[in-house]
Chains A and B, each alone.
Chain A
């Protein structure tokens, strides 16, 4: 069970890194000649802050959206691990840890969706 879990995490990170690299190259190409300034905080555009907006951005081939998609993949990786553990505890009929995993999953999902 732990070996599969480790592989799952590794796969998620590899996939996210690949998408990140792709988006990054496109981003630098699209913004070449621009001067970056992150001294003062200004919120990122609303479209890049929720799943729907990121997805339509990816479909439109927007580099920033591709990077944000990689960020979403990365956030999803540990969440997938918790889902996997929940199923594995279910197969082992460990009721206590099915409940514990479900609580962790609920907190993760609350954090992700409540703030929208």
Chain B
């Protein structure tokens, strides 16, 4: 395969990964890494490095659209970024000591888990919290967001240490596997801290870019970000996710979501099988 064909195929594949990531709400990275390793036979460490870059691009690229809706909380985001960035640096260090095939297996498990999680989150909305923890106001994490009728709904949060701890885990997974781990971030905010869904998804998107930036520098210094891969993949994932985000507003998503969740589950199983057979 010549370089031009390889680059063109990579761009198209990444476009598809970005599209899938946006439609399932899981982010481009979770589809990209299996695609690169299983489809293009790229070493998983290269795949993770380049995935981190496209995660930063999608997160920042989508931010402007989210900001217009005015739901994200800068304070909740910044507070929890303390946990995710420290986790991300730990994850990037762990990536050097973990066996390549073990990385593939961990990736498969996280993939399956995230797919189940996001499926479950879409079906069972969390009941609204009436009274949060006293620390919610002390740490200024309480806020409000515009409702459908123009009035502002107030919210408070609870179990801040639990959410902070889960964010540390999300950050570690992000640094280790090169994914945004949006599903775990939404879990921490939605299920544990009881942040309203509209606020948690947009805030999570904001946090993903900062988290990925914490470990991307380490990957770059280690020579894990390859220019020949970076440019078609980053441009592909970014365009795919922007198209996906635009389409998401209009499309009837539940059927698409079901189909793509199955695709992602299959990718996860394939990653695990591939990792196990190559290792032993």
Residues of A within 8 A of B (CB): 1-3, 5-7, 9-10, 12-13, 16-17, 20-21, 23-24, 27-28, 31-36, 38-41, 43-46, 48-50, 63-64, 67-68, 70-72, 74-75, 77-79, 81-82, 85, 94, 96-97, 100-101, 103-104, 107-108, 110-113, 115-116
Contacts and interface: CB of A to CB of B under 8 A. Distances in A.
B85 A104 contact: yes
A94 B75 CA distance: 11
Contact of B57 (A44, A45, A74): A74
A10 B60 contact: yes
B222 interface: yes
B216 interface: yes
B78 interface: yes
Interface of B is mostly: helix
Interface in B223-271: 223-232, 234-235, 238
B3 A33 contact: yes
Contacts of B40: 38
**Closest 7 CB pairs between A and B?**
A6-B67, A43-B223, A24-B231, A112-B217, A44-B223, A67-B227, A9-B60
B82 A103 contact: yes
B231 A49 contact: no
Given A38-B43, A64-B227, A6 B66 contact: yes
A1 B86 contact: no
19 contacts: A6-B64, A10-B60, A16-B57, A17-B57, A23-B227, A24-B232, A31-B3, A35-B1, A36-B228, A38-B43, A44-B224, A50-B221, A68-B225, A97-B79, A100-B82, A107-B89, A108-B213, A108-B214, A112-B217
Interface of A is mostly: helix
A3 B67 contact: yes
A16 B46 CA distance: 20
Contact of A12 (B60, B74, B78, B100): B60
A64 B212 CA distance: 22
A111 B3 contact: no
Nearest to A94: B140
B151 to A, nearest CB: 20
B3 A107 contact: no
B92 interface: yes
A116 to B, nearest CB: 6
Contacts, number: 201
Contact of B235 (A20, A49, A68, A85): A20
Contact of A34 (B3, B65, B89): B3
B226 A115 contact: no
Interface residues of B, number: 65
B8 to A, nearest CB: 9
Nearest to A39: B41
A57 to B, nearest CB: 10
Contacts of B224: 43-44
Given A32-B3, A36-B6, A111 B45 contact: no
B60 A77 contact: yes
Nearest to A34: B3
Nearest to B92: A111
Among A9, A27, A40, A48, max chain B CB count under 10 A is at A9
A67 B221 contact: no
A78 B7 contact: no
B47 to A, nearest CB: 9
A13 to B, nearest CB: 5
